[in-house]
Amino acid sequence: MKVLLIDDHPLILSALQSVIQGLGDDVEVTAADSGQAARAALSRSTHYDLALLDLHLGDLNGFDLLSEIRENYPSIAVVVVSASDRTSDVIRSIDMGAMGFVSKRSSNETLAAALRQVMSGGVYVPPMSMGSDAGSQPTEHLSPAGPHDLHSAVHLPQWGLTPRQTDVLASLLKGHPNKLIARELNLSVETVKDHVAAVLRALGVSSRTQAVIAVSQALQKQPSGFSAWRPVQR
């Protein structure tokens, strides 16, 4: 697994590298101490599996770099690792395609668990309350959504989704942008946009992050022994 660490603090880079290398013997880590260094590393090799990104870089806005990576290297899973714990920053990161957000205040064990979850196809969102700095969002509790949970959740009967919409929802919950979804499902980007809009309407939400929240809430309400529902053909 090839990992790109992007942070302008040497001590943080060292700590992240230690956690990453603890994930397995086959991990290859590249450290970038600035936005420009990250761009250079990506230009030399596009075969990274994972990027850990700080939002506050000395030479570049982290959100701008996140947008570049998702646009130009959509197969790279991006996890934001930030000193910020603002709800609005978490929401914005996930909305822009990050597959996870981990506070730098988290323990090494939490970071490692979050990264394993992301690399196995899940989305990691930290437990938190929405409301104080999340604009008009109602107060909700966000909990991590793992790959097994996501597989079951996209088949929950209350969604009423078509099979194709179910596929699109599964990709949304993995943090995939529209271009990657289109390529994976052999659809046009415009068709994917239509499906995304339909999925968000079905879930009663207006963003990808809210879709993750809706799925998490639905899973918490399911009784034990719930069996996955298969969508009806339409």
pLDDT given at position 217: 58
Q: Is the pLDDT of residue 224 over 70?
A: no
Q: In sequence order, what DSSP letters do the residues of the chain get, joined into one string?
A: -EEEEE-S-HHHHHHHHHHHHTT-TT-EEEEESSHHHHHHHHHH----SEEEE-SB-SSSBHHHHHHHHHHH-TTSEEEEEES---HHHHHHHHHTT-SEEEETTS-HHHHHHHHHHHHTT-BB---EE-SSSSTTPPP-EE--B-HHHHHHHTT-GGG---HHHHHHHHHHHTT--HHHHHHHHT--HHHHHHHHHHHHHHHT-SSHHHHHHHHHHHHHHSPTT--PPPPPP-
Instruction: Give residue-wise pLDDT tens across range 92-136.
Output: 888 888 888 999 988 999 899 889 888 877 778 776 544 444 443
CA distance 123 to 108: 18
**pLDDT surpassing 80 at residue 148:** no
Neighbours of 45 (CB within 10 A): 10
Distance separating alpha carbons of residues 172 and 118, to the nearest angstrom: 13
pLDDT of residue 58: 86
Statement: residue 81 has pLDDT above 60: yes
The rounded distance, in Å, linking the Cα atoms of 102 and 5 is 14
pLDDT tens digits along 11-50: 898 899 889 888 888 899 999 999 999 999 999 987 899 9
Q: Could you tell me the domains of the chain?
A: 2-142 (3.40.50.2300), 147-221 (1.10.10.10)
Beta bridge partners of 93: none
Q: CA-CA distances (angstroms) from residue 154 to 64, 121, 143, 190?
A: 30, 14, 16, 22
At 53, the pLDDT band (50, 70, 90 cuts) reads very high
Q: What is the pLDDT of residues 169-186, one digit of tens each?
A: 888 877 678 999 999 999
Q: Which two tokens stand for residue 131?
A: 């409301």
Two tokens at 186?
Answer: 């052999």
Give 3-state DSSP helix, strand, coil % of the chain, rounded to 5: 50, 15, 40
78 has pLDDT over 90: yes
* pLDDT score of 158: 62
